[in-house]
Amino acid sequence: PNFTATLEQQVYDDFGMPDKSAGLDHVGDAGGYPIAKRFPIIIQKVFKRRTIAGFSR
């Protein structure tokens, strides 16, 4: 019940950051940790091979 209330009542500032003065951010943070652990954000990087003049494989 507290986690749902936090998600419903969380206030954000003009920059999209949570307003911590309302005191609702702690429960939301705590509820987000297991979700972040279970479903991590994975960024796939593409590496480009560089060729150096005068060298070949």
pTM for the model: 0.53
Provide the 3-class DSSP secondary structure of residue 27: helix
> What are 29-40's pLDDT values in tens digits?
899 999 999 999
Residue 15: predicted pLDDT: 93
> What are 7-30's pLDDT values in tens digits?
899 888 899 988 888 887 888 889
Domain range holding 44? Answer: 1-57
Residues in the chain: 57
Which candidate, 22, 30, 21, places its Cα nearest to that of 3?
30
Question: 5 φ, ψ to 5°?
Answer: -60, -40
**Average confidence (pLDDT) over 47-52:** 75
Domain count, the chain: 1
Residue 55: predicted pLDDT: 67
